[in-house]
Structure 1
Amino acid sequence: MEKRRITQETFDAAVKENMEEFEMDPDEALREAVEQFVSQGVNLYCIVKAVPAVSGDDKQEEPTHEVLQVLNSLRTGKDSAGLKEVTADIKRFTELCSLGFAQRYLAAQKYAYPIILSYCKKSVEEQEAVLTTLFALAALTDGQPDLLDAEGQQFLLNVLKEHKADTSVMRAAICTVRHCCLKHEQNRQNLVKGGILPLLTGAITQHSGCAELIKEAAAGLRFMTFDDDVRVTFGNAHEHAKIIVLEHNGLKILVDAAKAHFDNTSVLSELCATLSRLAVRNEFCQDICDLGGLKLIMTLLANSYEKPELVRQVLSAIRAVAGNDDVKDAVVDSGGVELIVIAMNKHMNNSAVCEHGCACLSVLALRKPNNCKVIMEYGGVLAAVQAMKTHKDSVNVQKQACMVMRNLVGRMSELSKPILEMGAEDLITQALRTHQDCGDVGKAALRDLGCEVELRELWTGKHGSLTN
């Protein structure tokens, strides 16, 4: 059941009452108000948990939160003050919004967006000013993509077009674009229609030596392929990925960028993550391989298996491109199975690495008996079994490990015995008891391993009541 919500005014009134009626000091009054509302089942995520204060020396002024004090100052100077006069206030507003979601939510409730956007539009001719205002817009829209309107979309597109030579401005603008596209399908579609994709790929090409901009632009492309807006039944994630690849040469641009920054772990991690989002068709997987992307990914895994975050992204990319059967063989032939198992064993306590490692082994084994033999030979099943033992509370690890075992025996039933001797049956049974989401894949794994399993027949196809 969803928790109750209150307004900032209600929370502030409770703090004030504690101070005036019960003579508590400010810290005690604040702590008491938080405990009171939490005990009543109130969600305080959007509430600024601080004592309002009077700004300056004006004791007649009503106490309010600092983010609103700064916003009021910006509102007052919106039509009269020049950008230089309000620069300090804009920077302070950015700092306050960056403190947490509650501060920027409160600012948005008091109409901060049109005020900040008006300063953004005033600043477009001056590099330092546009950077300052873009940082403020990025901070305000973080977690609040609904704020962006058509005027804001056009402003961001214009900045990316007019400041192509300025990597700092480009990064700030793309960061804002990312914030406005996370969990917001309509913003993604509108920006793609407005021409954001060639601006992002162009930034990577034009500034091939700027690692930070490449990271930001690659992340921007990746966000355009998300399907994370629960308000939309069908998004354009697949279509956007196709456009990036087919119309804007996205695969080659990303692979070339990876080759140029092979010593930069953070850049490579972002590029791998983006490539994995673009491997949505069989031919795209093959293209990544033909462009040298697979060789690069495998070399990266071999050289960087000490770094868990990079390993996770590399495994995600391998999992994506191995959707192509020919690429599966190329991964195995290049020693990929051994590298995956080494990475899993190295980072066995990292659930994300174990999840993606199992997912890779599962994909490589699918419809490929020879690959199954290699996975068995290099200890892939042992790694999956150990992952299940180590991460009993991780439903994703349990599901992916079950898939490994199921795919291994799908066309090689003779592998069932050695897998069962490793304790697979007990682990899968335990996963079924612990995680409801493991039901289908867990039961399928037990069935294909030759174990006894109860499979409910929900409908036989005969006439009559489904409840019989």
Structure 2
Amino acid sequence: MGPPSKNVRTISQEAFDELVKENIEDLGLDPTEALEDAIQTLTLQGVDLSGIVTCVPGEGNVRENPVIKCLERLKEMRLGDNDLDEMVGLLDELVGLLTGVEGSGNVAIGVRNGGLELVCSICSNIPIVSEKVLVSALKTLALLIHDVQSTEMFRSSDGPKMVVGILKDGNESLEILDTGFAVVAAAATGNEVVKELLMELKIDELILDVLNRQSKGNIQGLYDSIRVLLTPDDYRVVASQVYGYARRFAKIGIARALVESLRSGLASPSLVSASVALKAVAVNDEICKSIAESGGIDVIFKYIDESGEQGNGIVARACCSLLSKLAGSDSNKSAIVAKDGINKLILLSARFSDDPSVLQEVMSIFTVLCLRSPDNAARAMEAGAGDLAIQAMEKFSNVQQVQKNSCLMIRNLAVRNPENRTLLLSHGIEKILRRAKVKHETCREAATDALRDLGLDNYNS
């Protein structure tokens, strides 16, 4: 989510409609030309038209927009028993409109016309026992919160307190938990203040409680919330607090609980999300070691083996990315090697020899394992890591990340192991590295370092 341009201007629906009307009455344009001229003129002036209903003018046209019609009807409703079924229908219709045709602008139209505040109010007033309507409202709210401005609207509507209250009161319902945490993830994205408010409301303790009681199923929104809460993604903040939040998560036991979630055998989407969440918590050596001590490395290798057998590249990539993070701890490096990890990773790379996204993650693990460890570099080379790098660089010469990760791995294979240098050079690695250096700007520094640590004098040329 990038920062909005400082030059962006906004316009109201009424002012836009008036401009189109003036084009018709004063310039004599037909309605279609008047609309196109207004859009073009305002766009050239840097006016943000998101959320504006751009239609040929005519009585009731704007009010006939399906998003606005849903919102208008919802505003008229009361929370009596007779209205709940209709409210669910309207909210579900709104969800369909917000997730429908890409580029429709329906989300922005909904927010600009008071939809976010309205749905926040509905969520605040629906009793937990009315689960069906509450779930529909939470789904709608998660879709309406889509940028920094809408997260600020959510904060101003006392949204953090409201959603935490719903999660606490509705913690027996998987649907309420999943949709509620989806709102948490949406609201905390790109907004450091919302993250802070949620932490003040002890969202971490709520997350731990749900993880520990998660016997009926897996909650995708919960894993997404952990990832977002621990991601420093607010461009307005110089120093994010998320590193401290991650340590707090680990201290109360969330890392251990996530390992247990993985151990329980998740379906692929939740498995990937749980792996990403655990990686977000693993911010220092102590936490990485604690994850290994909880059986995290064993669980990861179980899924690495299974993903290779099943050809599931998405799971393989997520597990390798997590393992690369955990390998940053020296004690974990030893544990990975002791569990025959090097051979397991070489086998995985053979199974995914046509998938550069998996290969680059495998090479990232080898890079970390071989850092300041000549023994690991010797073992990796003997297992075939050098061949992996050469073959990947030859096969995927246009994939920048494969090229860069290969350069980094080759450097760590060679820097403390003269015998590895001889083998790599005899297999033509110099020519391959120089090609990557010339072809990819992002590889220039890594390739230069690899050439230098291979013992070549003209590494900088």
TM-score range, shorter chain: 0.7 to 0.9
* Corresponding residue SS for 1:149: helix
The one-letter code matched in structure 1 to 2:61 is: E
TM alignment of 1:289-368, pairs within 5 A: 289-305=292-308, 306-368=311-373
Distance 1:85 1:336 in 2: 56
The one-letter code matched in structure 2 to 1:61 is: G
- With over 3 angstroms needed to count, the CA separation of the structure-2 counterparts of 1:443 and 1:33, relative to structure 1, is farther
- With over 3 angstroms needed to count, the CA separation of the structure-2 counterparts of 1:108 and 1:16, relative to structure 1, is farther
Q: Are 1:398 and 2:395 counterparts? A: no
Q: Are 1:158 and 2:169 counterparts? A: no
* Corresponding residue SS for 2:337: helix
Find 1:198's aligned residue among 195, 205, 208.
205
Residue of structure 1 in register with 2:67 after alignment: 67
Question: What is the total number of aligned residue pairs between the two structures?
Answer: 442
Residue of structure 1 in register with 2:131 after alignment: 127
The one-letter code matched in structure 1 to 2:405 is: Q
Measure how far apart 1:222 and its partner are: 2.2
- With over 3 angstroms needed to count, the CA separation of the structure-2 counterparts of 1:79 and 1:330, relative to structure 1, is closer
CA contact (8 A) 2:75 2:118 kept: yes
Distance 1:4 1:453 in 2: 49
The one-letter code matched in structure 2 to 1:94 is: V
Residue of structure 2 in register with 1:172 after alignment: 179
Measure how far apart 1:391 and its partner are: 3.3
Distance 2:38 2:389 in 1: 48
CA contact (8 A) 2:32 2:56 kept: no
The one-letter code matched in structure 2 to 1:439 is: R
Measure how far apart 1:328 and its partner are: 0.8
Q: Equivalent pairs: percent with the same residue?
A: 21
Deviations 1:280-320 (A, max 9, x none): 22222222222111112112211221210000111011101
Deviations 1:377-421 (A, max 9, x none): 121122222323333343332222111011111211331122123
CA contact (8 A) 1:200 1:218 kept: no
Residue of structure 1 in register with 2:251 after alignment: 246
Q: Are 1:370 and 2:375 counterparts? A: yes
Distance 1:16 1:405 in 2: 67
Q: Which of 307-316 and 276-285 deviates more?
A: 276-285
Deviations 1:65-96 (A, max 9, x none): 32223223333447999544433322222221
Measure how far apart 1:53 and its partner are: 8.1
Distance 1:205 1:438 in 2: 44
Distance 1:430 1:33 in 2: 51
Distance 1:392 1:105 in 2: 41
TM score, norm. by length of structure 1: 0.83
Residue of structure 1 in register with 2:192 after alignment: 185
* Corresponding residue SS for 2:354: coil
Q: Are 1:114 and 2:121 counterparts? A: no
Q: Which of 229-238 and 161-170 deviates more?
A: 229-238
Q: Which of 403-412 and 347-356 deviates more?
A: 347-356
TM alignment of 1:46-57, pairs within 5 A: 46=50, 52=55
Q: Which of 84-93 and 238-247 deviates more?
A: 84-93
Distance 1:286 1:399 in 2: 28
Find 1:209's aligned residue among 199, 212, 216.
216
Measure how far apart 1:245 and its partner are: 0.8
Find runs of 4+ consecutive structure 1 residues off by over 6 angstroms. Answer: 2-18, 22-25, 39-45, 78-81
- With over 3 angstroms needed to count, the CA separation of the structure-2 counterparts of 1:22 and 1:217, relative to structure 1, is same
Residue of structure 1 in register with 2:226 after alignment: 221
* Corresponding residue SS for 1:430: helix
Distance 1:3 1:239 in 2: 31
Q: Are 1:145 and 2:151 counterparts? A: yes
Structure 2 stretches lacking a partner, 5+ long? none
The Cα RMSD (Å) is 3.6
CA contact (8 A) 2:117 2:154 kept: no
The one-letter code matched in structure 2 to 1:356 is: E
TM score, norm. by length of structure 2: 0.84
Measure how far apart 1:259 and its partner are: 1.8
TM alignment of 1:250-289, pairs within 5 A: 250-261=254-265, 264-289=267-292
CA contact (8 A) 1:53 1:66 kept: no
Q: Which of 432-441 and 91-100 deviates more?
A: 432-441
* Corresponding residue SS for 2:238: coil
Distance 1:372 1:285 in 2: 22
CA contact (8 A) 1:241 1:278 kept: yes
Distance 1:206 1:71 in 2: 37
CA contact (8 A) 2:352 2:359 kept: yes
Distance 1:405 1:289 in 2: 27
Distance 1:355 1:111 in 2: 45
Q: Which of 269-278 and 321-330 deviates more?
A: 269-278
* Corresponding residue SS for 1:302: helix
Distance 1:127 1:86 in 2: 12
